[in-house]
Amino acid sequence: MPFGPRLAILLFTLLGLSLTSAGTPLQAQAPGAAAASATASRDQLAAGLLRLEYALRDRPPAAAAMPDVNRAFDRLSLQFFAGRFAEAVFALDSLTMAVEPDSTVRASQRAVAARALATTSAQTRTLTIGSSAPIPYRVHAPAGRAPGVRLPLIVALHGAGGDENMFLEAYGAGAIRGLADARGFIVATPLTMPMLRAPDALARLIDTVAAELPVDRARVYLLGHSLGAAAAWNLARLRPDLVAAVVCIAGVCGSVPAPAPPRVPPLLAVVGELDPLATPARVEALAAEARAAGRAAEFRVIPGYGHTLVVGAVLPDVIDWLLRQPALSLPRN
């Protein structure tokens, strides 16, 4: 599937609904017409989402306005869930105009978004694991790396319905790329669901990236949003020998199975105050459960933010938190 439609499906992550939640407005059309209409609308939503992220980056609203921006984003996502694509596109463009009123600036952002959407396919790689379907992923490494210096690796997992381009293009207008350059780490962004279905996926991904780039295997970290947050926590519990620490943004993380493994990586759980899905009370309770089981788990609430726009807002802080965590003690070869 082209990146445009898959990026637009990010809007489904807001309340964790599946594609089938669109309901009867789509089903009332002939199948071919419905599919063509949905694809065209999602293409528009993909570009619109990028333009909104650019507007938020280039002209950040005052703190007092952020709750309204987040609530507006939540409302337009519900229109999309209901199959009212044209209304969702209009609402998304209206929100972008409210954030960035200068039409000249918006025109420039439109051109940048179009270029970004046109180039992602060429940057996608595939990870092959036995008979499993190949897992698409992308990698970004800082330029000007010092020879012989091994760098941390952050594996970033997107929310339900997104794809391997989400962190590098959409969340915070692709802020993680600039953070990787400034902080000196490598980022790999695989398609989330196949990472859970293939038991060896995380180890194979690390091996594949390390074969090309100077990965410090003692400093491999997981970062996830929504479904990706839950996936990151599950992978960290399954392979604590590979993961130094994990950050969950707007996801249900913190539960520890019984019997508990001897080590669970340190956890930071972050949630928006207005999140209708991963509510602060729910996520805080799970972080408390992890602490009660003797695990290192921190919890933070971000005022004025909801489920999705919170990602771009917290990326600098949560990445700094990851990079401060102790490295793994690995056996000597």
- What domains are defined for the chain? 3-117 (no CATH), 124-324 (3.40.50.1820)
Q: Give the total residue count for the chain.
A: 333
Q: Return the pLDDT at 81.
A: 61
Q: Which residue has the tokens 């972080």?
A: 287
Closest C-alpha among 251, 303, 304, 301 to residue 278: 251
Q: Return the pLDDT at 41.
A: 65
What is the Cα 297 distance to its own chain's centre?
A: 20
Q: Return the pLDDT at 149.
A: 92
- How far is the C-alpha of 263 from the C-alpha of 239, rounded, in Å? 10
Which parts of the chain are beta strand (E)?
A: 125-127, 135-140, 151-157, 186-190, 215-225, 245-249, 267-272, 297-302
79 near 36, Cβ under 8 Å? no
330 near 300, Cβ under 8 Å? no
Sheet of strand 245-249: strand arrangement: 125-127, 135-140, 186-190, 151-157, 215-225, 245-249, 267-272, 297-302
**CA torsion, ordered 25, 32, 91, 252, to nearest 10 deg:** 80
Per-residue pLDDT of the chain (333 residues; tens, 9 = 90+): 234 444 434 433 433 332 222 222 333 344 454 455 556 666 787 788 899 999 999 999 999 999 999 989 878 877 776 778 888 889 999 999 999 999 999 999 999 999 998 998 899 999 988 777 899 999 999 988 778 899 999 999 998 767 899 999 999 999 999 999 999 999 999 999 999 888 799 999 999 999 999 999 999 999 999 999 999 999 998 999 999 999 999 998 988 776 666 788 999 999 999 998 889 999 999 999 888 888 899 999 999 999 999 999 999 999 999 999 999 987 765
Strand partners, 154: 187, 221
Q: Return the pLDDT at 140.
A: 97
254 near 267, Cβ under 8 Å? yes
Strand partners, 301: 271
